[in-house]
Amino acid sequence: MSDARVDRETVRAEEIAAEQRYLNVLYGKLDDLRAETTQRLKDTLRDSGGPPQARTERDISTRMYTDKLTQLSAVEHGMCFGRLDLDGGETFHVGRLGLFDEDNEYEPLLLDWRAPAARPFYLATAAARDDVQRRRHLKTSWRKVLDYEDEILDLDAAEQGSDLGLAGEATLLARLDARRTGEMQDIVSTIQAEQDRIIRAGMNGVLVVQGGPGTGKTAVALHRAAYLLYTFREQLSKRGVLVVGPNPTFLRYIGQVLPSLGETGVLLSTVGSLYPGIVATGTESARTAEIKGRQSMTDVLTAAVRDRQQVPRDGVEVTFDREPLHLRRKDATAARTRARRTRRPHNLARRVFQDEMFRALTLQVADRLGRELLDRRDLDEINTELRAEPAVTAALDELWPEMGPQVLLDELLSSPDRLATATAKPLDDDERDALLRPAGTPWTPADVPLLDELAELLGEDDAQQRADRERQEREELAYAQGVLHIMEQDEEIADEERLRVSDVLDAELLAERFRTSSDLTAAERAAEDRTWTFGHVIVDEAQELSEMAWRVLMRRCPSRSMTLVGDVAQTGAPAGARSWDEVLSPYVQDRWNLAELTVNYRTPTEIMDVAAEVLSDMDTDLEPPQSVRSTGNLPWAQQISREDLVSELPHAVSDELAEVPEGRLAVLMPPDLLAEIGPGLAEALPDAVIGTRSDDLESPAVLLTIDEAKGLEFDAVLLVQPEEVFAASDRGLNDLYVALTRATQRLGIVHSGDLPATLARSFE
């Protein structure tokens, strides 16, 4: 071994040892913070008594210390991942959270990756160093330093990485080549410049992130959520951040990313989970879902509501005070017109309708008794008696019933007559037949936007709840005034403390503290409240959402502070978007910004070449993203007869699993085929499961539809029957494009018929 090589290895060992000593200091600080926070939490929990103010402060402190402990635990692995050496001689380490030396004027020990001072770690280049001499990427395993990679940002130095300008190229490629685990990993240590610019973009307005397969769209979206919560903590902690994904499998896949970044106050949801109390587990045809997703369904639902606002054809007779009383058509028509003109939601306008009808009925009774003999007090008494008469109220309820969204939608979709009346204009007979289903059918994800729309159209007559709430607030204010009076009169309170109480805490503020003390975060409260509006909304796979789903999300974010992430070339849903302008123009016109991700970190060149052929046949001007790596594994295709799929596929799956030991394989196929052969295939392969349970993605092999695989990634993909995927819908090319770009290492195709022409070109 040459002396030069020995010297290099000695220097490297010394550098690793130095980094290990510093890492020990950081973890010692982390342990101290955990111990201190744990003790404070224990002390807080022991204090179970005291006046309401003390209990309120205890609840707030409990939540604060619990959240702090969660954050400190989440950053244990990979807490420190980099170092910046600057021109002035300063050295800063970068990690998942900020740590400071309280004994040395709060000098930073570790920069939070979201802090402005840490940004050069992601943006500095040889051409624009930003005072950075060296950028070091640390490779650690829990609390041990294993290795490092240095980048000397000097124009006179040797070549600095690839022509794509990758920061920490060796570290990045090592991460990309690592086996999948069934859970998405954060990219905080390898964020690239184009990703960083999007992550740190301002919070106001709508930002659209268009990116092809493997460009890190999802990772960017989640890191953006963490960055916004760090930078705009005060605003967002009150309203929360909503992250919307395409399906529950996807949410499970990304579920650990934000906790690993120290953030737990984010609500992860699908559109189908945004209606409290509804679990949308039902299934339906793609055509039915597409019809439900149309904007024209608002007209259908409006008509369905108006259909419940009736007038009697020939009048209705009821008995009051042993005499007949008539609900006349002309009175009901006038009352309905008056109620509709208020433009209030159905259940709120109902009160106007009833007031008008009771007024008309009161005059009927008065005419029978002799109206000229009655004064205003007599009329009021008659009105009150009418409102207490069950027969009268039941008859009026028939004309204008109080309705809930679930009851109304279930009755609408299960009644041919009601559906025909409501859909007379927007839908034809075939479309109405597609919507019809038996009463009590489980809700589907496409039903949720309809329920949300109906909730807006129907409203909730909460007059009694408001009255109860106002009474409770008056009682709380009176109680708070009494508490403050006692505190001010307490002779044991020192003068300076009495001054603080009277100057800083008034009765209204104290009452507000009583009301807001809760163990729920903003995200948890939002999950229980349909009318909650979020501080920021992030939508992944945004191109898949229907027009009705967009109405739901825009109601959740009236400020239009949104990040929309997707790729219109991967739109698979029939009701999905064909362009971003089509999606956004009804809400913000052209007032939205577009950012593009152009580098493919996931899909190797060999696979992307096949996918690019599919993209070229689509009606789009999008260019395929440029892959950063190749694996040498050429995609393959094998033809098997339809009858032999069940017997031959297990061999193909076993062969692919052998090529990715300890990796993850996805077998993707059309839904009908999965239902047909999936159970037999899973039984024949002890390492394979059908992707329906929460831990399925951790299995060596998982059987999924392409829709279920959207947004996920695997070491290897086996695509079965692409010809059926292509022919299944007018967006078959989009589905093929999605399926081909889920793999990080290997791609195989098994088919019975002829390959679609767009694929055949790659396997000639």
Task: Identify whether the C-beta of residue 269 lies closer than 8 Å to the C-beta of residue 566.
Answer: no
Tell me how far CA of residue 398 lies from CA of 316, 318, 350, 410, 415, in angstroms: 11, 13, 12, 18, 18
Helix axes 547-556, 580-588, angle to 10 degrees: 40
Tokens of 344: 């209030």
The neighbour count for residue 62, using CB atoms within 10 Å, is 17
Instruction: Burial-class residue 262 by CB neighbours within 10 Å (0-12, 13-18, 19+).
Output: buried
| 50 Rama sector, left if φ>0, alpha if ψ -120 to 50, beta otherwise | left
Among 482, 525, 508, 515, smallest CA distance to 55 is for: 515
Tell me how far CA of residue 475 lies from CA of 472, 488, 720, in angstroms: 5, 20, 67
3-state secondary structure of 182: coil
Q: What is the dihedral of CA 59, 65, 70, 74, to 10 degrees?
A: 160
Among 729, 742, 723, 433, smallest CA distance to 573 is for: 729
Q: How far is 371 from 322, CA to CA, in rounded Å?
A: 19
Query: Is residue 215 annotated as involved in ligand binding?
Result: yes
Residue 330 one-letter amino acid? K
Query: Is residue 315 annotated as involved in ligand binding?
Result: no
Q: What letter does residue 232 receive in the DSSP assignment?
A: T
Helix axes 547-556, 447-458, angle to 10 degrees: 50
Q: Characterize the bridge pairing of strands 144-152 and 132-141.
A: antiparallel
Task: Identify whether the C-beta of residue 556 lies closer than 8 Å to the C-beta of residue 244.
Answer: no
Q: How far is 26 from 497, CA to CA, in rounded Å?
A: 39
Bridge partners, 750 (sequence order): 638, 720
Query: Is residue 370 annotated as involved in ligand binding?
Result: no
Q: How far is 740 from 718, CA to CA, in rounded Å?
A: 9
Q: How far is 381 from 368, CA to CA, in rounded Å?
A: 15
Query: Is residue 217 annotated as involved in ligand binding?
Result: yes
Q: What letter does residue 322 receive in the DSSP assignment?
A: T
Q: How far is 522 from 518, CA to CA, in rounded Å?
A: 10
Q: How far is 154 from 148, CA to CA, in rounded Å?
A: 19
Query: Is residue 190 annotated as involved in ligand binding?
Result: no
Instruction: Kindly give, in sequence order, each residue whose CB lies less than 8 Å from that of residue 344, ignoring residues fewer than 6 positions away.
Output: 352, 459
Among 86, 104, 90, 121, smallest CA distance to 25 is for: 104
Q: How far is 669 from 480, CA to CA, in rounded Å?
A: 64
Residue that has been written with the tokens 């005291």 in this structure: 50
Query: Is residue 216 annotated as involved in ligand binding?
Result: yes
Alpha-helix runs per DSSP H in 630-718? 645-659, 671-684, 706-709
Instruction: Burial-class residue 718 by CB neighbours within 10 Å (0-12, 13-18, 19+).
Output: buried
Query: Is residue 214 annotated as involved in ligand binding?
Result: yes
Query: Is residue 692 annotated as involved in ligand binding?
Result: no
Residue that has been written with the tokens 């342990």 in this structure: 31
Using DSSP, how many helices (H) and how many strands (E) does the chain show?
32, 22
Q: Name the binding residues for ATP.
A: 211-218
Q: Which residues are annotated as a binding site?
A: 211-218
